[in-house]
Amino acid sequence: MAQQHRILEASTLSAALSKSSALRAVLEEHRSVRNRSIEKVGPVMKGRLVATNKRLGVPRREGERKASNLAVSNCDGSFYIVNVKIGGQSLPVIIDTGSSDLWVDSSLCDGTCTSSSISRYDASRSSTFRPVEATKSDFHIEYMDDTIVKGTLGFETLRLGDIEITNQVFAQASSVINNTKLCNEVGLLGLGLGEISSQNFPALLSNLKEQQITMFSLYLTDHNDYQLFMNKTTDIAHPIPGPPPASAESEFTVGGVNPKRYRNCLRWHELGQFRAKGKAFKGYWDFALDGVKVGSTEIPSSSLAMVDSGTTLSISSRETVGRIAKKLGVKCFVCTDSVEDFLEEVQCDDPFGYDFAATYCSETESSTSLTFVADGKSYHLTSSELFREIEVDSHSPICTLNLEGVPGFPGWLLGMNFLRKYYTVFDFGRKRLGFAEATTNSATVCKADSSYFIHDIPDDAKTITSTPSASPTSYYTPTPHYATSSNKDVSGALSGFVFFVAGSFAGFLFVGFFCVGLAIGYRQQARAPTTKGYLQVRTTDPEECTREVELSPLR
C-alpha cells in the first residue's frame, strides 16, 4: 500500500510539473557548471610569456586603503553584471571568478555579435588604446557549449569605480558565435587567478597587485534588478535589456571589504587544494573540506571545494548529489522513451543518476541543512538555499532542488546559492578565501577585520573581536568519490525539452542529455563565458534523451 501511495504521489507530482509554465522559468535559472575554455582544460598550460605591465601606480597615504565599491545588478538569477570603463567607455560585463580573461564585444564585431552596436567598445573613440604586437594579438577561445569568441588583444585603461589600471590587456571581440545576450551584457570580467588565463599577459588580479590592491569581495543578493517581460511564444519570462538599474543591491568591492554586509568575523581558508595527476594546479578559488553533512548524517564526498560566481547551482559528483537528494527525501526523475509520459521516478542514488529532482514545498523541512565543514568551521545551506519554489496551477507549490550532479566531477563547485548566503572575500595577496554570513546592514563590525575595511569604523558602531563560537562540529576526513551515482527520477511534467550537459573539468568532457520539459531560452546556451558545462539542445524528440557518456580526454 505504501508503495502504491508513493507511485500515486510521484504521478501527481509529475502531472503538476508537466503543466507548469513556471517550471520552465526555473529551469532557465538552473545554471549548471560553466564550460571552461579549451585552452584552460586540464593541468597542462601553454608556455607563458613573461611580460611586465608597466604603469604609474597611484601612491597611497600611510594607513589608507585604496578601494572602490561598485554596484552589481542581478540578471534574473542568471549572473551578475557590473559596469566597468575601458578607454573611458562604460561597458556592462559579467563578473566571473572562474576565469581570468577580460573581453568585450567591439566595433569590429561581425553579424555574430548580438549586442547593440552602440554598446560595444570602439578603439577609435579612445586615446589610451594600444595594440598588442601583431604576432601575439590573436584571441580565440572555444567553449564546450559551442560558443566561440574570436578577436584581437590590446592594451587599455580599465577603471573599476575609482581604481584605474593602465595597460590592462583585454580582447576586442570580433566574432561571438552561438552566444545570445540575456540582459545588456557585452563581455566578461575574469576574476580568477592568472594561472588559468588563456593568454600570455598579466591578468587583472596581477595588475591590481602592482597597485598594492590584493583582495576583492562579493555581496550578492537574490533581488532581481531587471524588469521581466513574458515571451508569448515560449511563455517564459525574460529580463528587459537595458543599462544596469540604479537600484542594484549587490556589490563588488575592489581592494577591501564592506563591514556592513556581513555578520560576525571573516573565517579564512587557504587556497591551492586542487590537484590534477598528483600535482597542485593553481588558479582556482579553491579550499579544502573536512566533511559534508545533511543534518547530522555525514556524506562521503571529495575534500575539494571551489567557489564560482558564474554558476547558479552548487555542483558535485553524481554519486554525492544522489546521496544528498535521497537523504533530503526529494523525488527524482529520469527521461523515458514514452511520448505520453516522459518522466519516470527512480531512486535518487541510482548508479545512472537522475535528470530532475523535486518535491512539494510543504515537505521541505526548515531545519534541513547541507553543511560544509572546512578547517573546523561549518557553512550551512538551509532549505531556502537548497530549494526553489515554483507555482503550479491548481496544485500545491513545488520545490526544485538547487544541486546538480555531474559524472566524475572532482569536488564541489559552490555557486550562487552559496555566495548569496555567505559574503565572500577573495584575497589574492595571501592566497586565501574569507567567508561570513551575509546581511543587508550589520549592527556590529568585527575589529579583527578592520584592516580590510573600505571606510573607517563609526565611533558609535558596536564591535566584536571574534565570531561567537557555536556548538562543537564533528567532522571527518572524507574519501574522494568521483563517479557515477545519483537517483533518476523522470516526470512527465517536463516533456519535450532536452537539457544537454557538457561538463568539462580536469581534462575530461562529460556529456549528458536530459529531458526536462519544453524547449526554452536556457542561459547556458545564451551565456557561454559563464557556462561551465551545461548547454541546452532544443528538441521534441524523446529518443534524443540518453544517458551521460564520458568522452575521451581533451589534449
Q: Residue 545: is its pLDDT beyond 70?
A: no
Stretch among 77-81, 173-177, 278-282, 491-495 having the lowest mean pLDDT: 491-495
Could you give the C-alpha distances from 294 to 297, 308, 323, 359, in angstroms and in order? 5, 22, 10, 17
Give the DSSP letter string of 241-254. Answer: PSSPPTT--EEEEE
CATH number of the domain that residue 101 is part of: 2.40.70.10
Q: Residue 414: is its pLDDT beyond 50?
A: yes
Instruction: Provide the mean pLDDT of the chain.
Output: 74
Alpha carbons 524 and 311: distance in angstroms, whole number: 10
Alpha carbons 149 and 179: distance in angstroms, whole number: 9
What's the grid cell of residue 386?
537548497
Following CA atoms 354, 355, 360, 364 in sequence, which dihedral angle do they give, to the nearest 10 degrees?
60
**Which H/E stretch holds residue 2?**
helix 2-18
385-401 mean pLDDT:
82
Alpha carbons 267 and 263: distance in angstroms, whole number: 11
Higher-confidence residue of 544 and 226: namely 226
Tell me, what's the pLDDT at 11?
57
Q: Which residues contact 127 (CB under 8 A, 6 or more apart)?
A: 87
The model's pLDDT over 60-99, given as tens digits with 9 standing for 90+, comes to 333 457 899 999 999 888 889 999 999 999 999 999 998 8
Tell me, what's the pLDDT at 272?
79
What's the grid cell of residue 547?
544517458
Alpha carbons 96 and 70: distance in angstroms, whole number: 15
Helix (H, G, I), strand (E, B) or coil at 39: helix
484-492 mean pLDDT:
29
Q: What percent of the chain is predicted at pLDDT more than 90?
A: 44
For cell 573540506, the residue is 289
Alpha carbons 459 and 464: distance in angstroms, whole number: 14
Its domain, for residue 458, covers 1-555
Q: How many domains does the chain have?
A: 1
Q: Residue 228: is its pLDDT beyond 70?
A: no
What's the grid cell of residue 221?
543578493
Count Cα neighbours of 258 within 13 Å in the Cβ-side half-sphere.
21
Per the CB < 8 A criterion, the answer to whether 95 and 82 are in contact is yes
Give the DSSP letter string of 146-211. Answer: S-EEEEEEEEEEEEETTEEEEEEEEEEEEEEET---SSS--EEEE-S-GGG-SSSS--HHHHHHTT
Alpha carbons 537 and 70: distance in angstroms, whole number: 36
Tell me, what's the pLDDT at 47?
28
What's the grid cell of residue 23?
517550471
What is the chain's alpha carbon radius of gyration, rounded to the nearest angstrom?
A: 23
pTM, rounded to two decimals: 0.77
Tell me, what's the pLDDT at 317?
94
Give the length of the chain.
555
Residue 472: CB atoms within 10 Å:
8
- What pLDDT band is residue 521 in, cutting at 50, 70 and 90? very low
Give catalytic residues, as residue numbers.
Answer: 96, 308
The model's pLDDT over 128-184, given as tens digits with 9 standing for 90+, comes to 999 999 888 999 887 555 778 899 999 999 999 999 999 999 999 999 988 777 888
